[in-house]
Amino acid sequence: MDNNTQKNMQKTGLVAATALITGNLVGAGILGLPINTGLAGLGPSMLAILAGAGLMYLSASILGDEAARNRSETFDYPSMYEALLGKTGKWIAMAANLLILYGLLTAYFTGGAKILASLFGMESRLSLVMLLFSLPLIALTSINLSFLARLNTLFIAVLALLFAALLALGAGHVQVKNMAYMDWRYLPATLPIIITAFHFHNIIPTISTSLAWDRTQYRKAVFWGMALAFAMNGLWILVGIGVIPLTGENSLLSSWETNMPATVPMAFHLQSQTFTLCALAFALVAISTSFLANGLGLQNFIRDLLTNTFHIESRSLVLALTFLPPLAIALVYPDIFLKALDLVGGVGIVILFGLLPLLIALRDPNRSRVVRGICVLAFSFALAILAMEILQEAGLLRLRPWVEYYKIDF
């Protein structure tokens, strides 16, 4: 093989890996971003997504190094953490992974149901809407894998087109005066959902393998994939904050209080049938794309756990343990969309793809002093996010938007 052919193959692999990362990042998490971050204001939000993306890029680099060092197509995180951090690391990783996957599926069930119920005026029959939305997704996630991969590729392409349409339609309705609001005290509360929005780490083994464990190519793919997602998240937040008022009916505050995805209040204020249809399609495709990936991941995780730990092989039990718990939680707590995303990011992702990778890097004697110093700062940052989320969930810390108390309407 000549050098030009090899370079072309590398470029093709790099572009595919970059697209896969960006596609995974533009998922359901983006639906909650304008609501949570908007209550802190545009300036603080941009700073927060920069910090959150930086943390997730650093951890992705560390995990990519480990995948390249392992060079195995059966690489999985619990085994990696057990090898590097012992049995405790393995069980912490497994618990965090379950929290992430169950939490995300719960968010998808509730978010999709809320969107459909608000569109068709069926808020009083939310449980029925949730079942009608959830059961087809569960069926899709349980079928042939090759068909699922083709369907997911189609979803990602449609998602990109719909996102561009939403930005174009919403940009003309942006109110510049909305950009002036800032609430720095509420800024820490935006970090968990930002971490969720920059989470793609479950596919790192796949990306690393597809690039033949080439660390340089891998880092390029991660950088450009995350850079594209950063731009998309930033533009979406800009349009969301510009279109949705701070207070009042279908505002940032009311949507935050009712755990509503951002597309619902945006459609209300734009009063455009085209935007409403695009917003509905975008939200449902974003949720479906994320659901298919994470639902499949949870099935594999449950199957491995049952087979290797409890020596049980039962497809029906795998499906029941995968989908019934999050569906039951969603039916009992239908207003948990944003809260579920916060819990996933602030606890599960921060532990599994923040603290544990950074701990591995800090224990690596081959890391330079500069890198170790950066890892110490990042570890402290991740630990602060975890502590804040746990304190909030325990009711010991109350981070609420300033606008809630003063009812300022711009």
Q: How many domains does the chain have?
A: 1
- pTM, two decimal places: 0.90
Q: Which residues contact 259 (CB under 8 A, 6 or more apart)?
A: 110, 114, 335, 336, 337, 338, 339
Task: Determine, yes or no, domain membership for 87.
Answer: yes
- 341 belongs to a structural domain: yes
- The token pair at 253 is 């505050």
Q: Is 330 inside any structural domain?
A: yes
Determine, yes or no, domain membership for 188: yes
The residues, any chain, with a CB within 8 Å of residue 274's CB and separated by 6 or more, are 169
First to last CA, the chain: 63
26-45: per-residue pLDDT in tens?
776 788 899 989 999 999 99
Task: Indicate whether 155 belongs to any domain.
Answer: yes
pLDDT tens digits for range 59-77:
999 999 999 998 877 677 8
Q: In this structure, which amino acid lies at residue 326?
A: P
Segments of the chain with pLDDT less than 70: 1-12, 28, 74, 144-150, 152, 404-410
Four-CA torsion 70, 76, 80, 82, nearest 10 degrees: -150
Does residue 2 lie in a domain region? no
Q: What is the pLDDT of residue 148?
A: 64
- DSSP for 302-337, written as a single string: HHHHHHHTS----HHHHHHHHHHHHHHHHHH-TT-H
CA-nearest of 56, 367, 61, 69 to 219 is 61
Question: What confidence score (pLDDT) does residue 147 get?
Answer: 65
The CATH number of residue 154's host domain is 1.20.1740.10
Question: Residue 217's domain spans which residues?
Answer: 19-406
Q: Is residue 347 part of a domain?
A: yes
The confidence score (pLDDT) of residue 359 equals 96
Instruction: Give the three-state DSSP class for 260.
Output: coil
In single-letter form, the type of residue at position 123 comes to E
DSSP of 178-220: GGG-B-GGGGGGGHHHHHHHT--GGGHHHHHHHTTT-HHHHHH
CA 273 from centre of chain:
28
Those residues whose C-beta lies under 8 Å from the C-beta of residue 119, and which sit 6 or more positions away, are 276, 280
Q: Hey, which residues does 182 pair with through a beta bridge? A: 41
Nearest C-alpha neighbor of 286 from the set 265, 261, 252, 268: 261
What was the pLDDT predicted at 22?
Answer: 84
Q: What is the DSSP string of 75-94?
A: --HHHHHHHHHHHHHHHHHH
Return the structure tokens found at 225: 């994939």
Q: What's the pLDDT score for residue 187?
A: 94
Q: Which amino acid is at 410?
A: F
Handedness of CA 397, 399, 402, 406 (dihedral sign): negative
Which tokens is 340 given? 């579920």
Structural contact between residues 105 and 295, judged by C-beta atoms closer than 8 angstroms: yes
Which uninterrupted H or E stretch holds 235? helix 215-243
- For 259-297, give one letter per residue: b (16+ CB within 10 A) or e: bbbbbbbbbbbbebeebbebbbbbbbbbbbbbbbbbbbb
Encoded tokens for 181: 């609001």
Is residue 12 in a domain?
no
